[in-house]
Amino acid sequence: MKALVTGGAGFIGCNLADRLAAGGAQVLVFDALARPGVERNLAWLQNRHGAAITPRIADIRDAEAVAEAVREADAVFHLAAQVAVTTSLVAPREDFEVNVRGALNVLEAARLCRTPVIFASTNKVYGDLADVPLELVGEAYRPCDPVLRAHGVDERRPLDFHTPYGCSKGAADQYVLDYARSFGLPSCVLRMSCIYGPRQLGTEDQGWVAHFLIQALQGRPIRIYGDGRQVRDILQVDDAVGAYLAALARIDAVSGRVFNLGGGPANAVSLLQLIDRIAHHTGRKPQVEFDAWRAGDQRYYVTDVSAARRTLGLPRPTPWREGVAGLARWLAGEPAQRQLAEIL
């Protein structure tokens, strides 16, 4: 198989490309290399897999370049995106062009070739969930509704796009589903919660688990927007990659479907709880600064993963404490420290 991974030099993309190549696939890594540091991920892939990795340095907004890449592929994993809510508020037109026009470029090329598409969406399509009554228990919010508390947010939750980022990712999400419906394109959507793991060089705008660890390891303060009691279910990247491969393997059965993908209630953690755990790994509690809530932020989001596990055959995810320990070890290692020194 020849697989195209758009955004293949990014955090999730390079981990997915690595797994594909290790399994014998030829992988076309399509990436603009716009994010600082991702060129090292591409070099890492090429060093590990040699000729199994073919780089294509191009922009997802370039329809001709996208079409050429799709024509070479047996399957497309579309991960290339503008990924930060904050950036979308500063540059909404660029956010639209990358996330909506870029997705349409992929879909149109795939429609002509009948190439399956697995699309990386986000839980932000559900909005800020302000209608969900919450109670404060210790350092974390939790739903008053015991069913929601036990299982999390499922795919029946109404869409409610907030911020330009939510609108652009949500629009692309719906285009992917409609191309399955209108054109019979084999395609599937994975709405992800917070993914973390090795090769994640998170920033204040995106990739908060790694960003918190990086700040702590370098003795810098961690800035929290809100009160820190907001809760997310975090998923280790190897588990996320497994879901993408499972969706492709079952594409005939799951085409036109959407799955929420996250760590589930067992991996739900507040920002303050994660900082306490970081102190366990660094030997000192990080300095924390607080700022105002950011637009569209969810005080509570935990994924109901039952549909994905049942339909895609996913195993139980990595426990978050074990996964965070693995990320801390990777970030403390020499290769990650060299990469960080170049971009910070």
Could you report the per-residue pLDDT of 26-69, keeping only the tens digit for each? Answer: 999 999 999 988 999 999 999 999 999 999 999 999 999 999 99
Q: Which pLDDT band holds residue 339 (cuts at 50, 70, 90)?
A: confident
pLDDT at 26: 98
- Residue 205 C-beta-side C-alpha neighbours within 13 Å: 11
Domain 2-292+299-343 annotated CATH 3.40.50.720:
yes
pLDDT at 344 over 80: no
pLDDT at 140: 98
- Active site (annotated) includes residue 165: yes
268-270 and 231-236: which strand pairing? Answer: antiparallel
Domain boundaries, the chain: 2-292+299-343
pLDDT at 343: 78
Of 126, 141, 165, 301, which is the active-site residue?
165
Mean pLDDT of 279-294: 93
pTM attached to this predicted model: 0.97
Q: Which pLDDT band holds residue 116 (cuts at 50, 70, 90)?
A: very high
